[in-house]
Amino acid sequence: MQVTDNDPLMKLPEKITRPLIKNFTEHQTDKFHIPQRRDQKDIILQLWEVTFNCSWVIDDASTPCTGEEDLQDVYSPFTDVSQLRVTYSTYLAIYVVVHALHDLQACKPMHGPFSNASCGTIKSLQPWQVLYYLRKVNFQSILGEAMSFDQNGDPPAVFQLINWQRNEENDVNGVVHFKKVGGYNSGASPGHVLQVDADHLVWAGGKRKAGFNNTAQLYD
């Protein structure tokens, strides 16, 4: 089996392991504006020089920057959105707090959840008051994923079941492909927590059926 730096063994496909935030790439690359005053300490100007290998200082030793360069035409680690796990988690964390504060603000006096039916206020906010509303957060992310917390304060455990497969017909070198064959979602309704597409599972040796007849044989 062939394994290289670009092989799936080294790097899982984006559509399987990384959340894709719609229009995020366009948002990043379209929001850069070159300052009118060319202060060399400006972070945007520095980004421009590094990305396009040019300089705002006009001399014979370097290519001058024009400001007309397009970030969508080049690769830049500053605008790379192929690894959005941390970004997406940060997005969720911010929205969780925003939803909690919104619910706190919507509290009506004499109908609050705290002592004497009182409400919390932004001006005199206490951490335990925020925590109360955080536990009650329930919304859908931009990817359609439910975000909430259980009685222990834990978010839903969501995993994808990935099957490593070799396409013997098309890949003479036996390159490994990753195929989603199910998922686990602790927040799903009963009967849908664990889902497995057995018809698309490939077992050891390229077999379409498991090599055992019952669970007990797993431990023989």
Q: Which residue has the higher pLDDT, 79 or 73?
A: 73
pLDDT tens readout for residues 36-62: 666 656 788 888 888 888 888 877 778
The pLDDT assigned to 20 comes to 64
* pLDDT > 50? residue 117: yes
| pLDDT given for residue 30 in this prediction | 66
Helix (H, G, I), strand (E, B) or coil at 220: coil
Contact 200, 208 (CB under 8 A): no
Residue 106 pLDDT more than 80? yes
Q: Where are the domains of the chain?
A: 22-73, 85-148, 158-219
The pLDDT of residue 95 is above 50? yes
Confidence (pLDDT) at 198: 85
Query: What's the pLDDT score for residue 57?
Result: 82
H/E element, 146: strand 146-148
Name every residue whose Cβ is closer than 8 Å to that of residue 108 and which is 6 or more positions away in sequence: 119
pTM of the model: 0.53
Which residue reads 């496909």 in tokens? Answer: 13
Average pLDDT over residues 161-177: 70
Report the alpha-carbon distance of residue 22 to residue 145 in Å, rounded.
14
Lowest mean pLDDT among 68-77, 147-156, 165-174: 165-174
pLDDT of residue 211: 64
Cα atoms found within 13 Å of the Cα of residue 218, Cβ hemisphere only: 4
Higher pLDDT pick, 34 / 63: 63
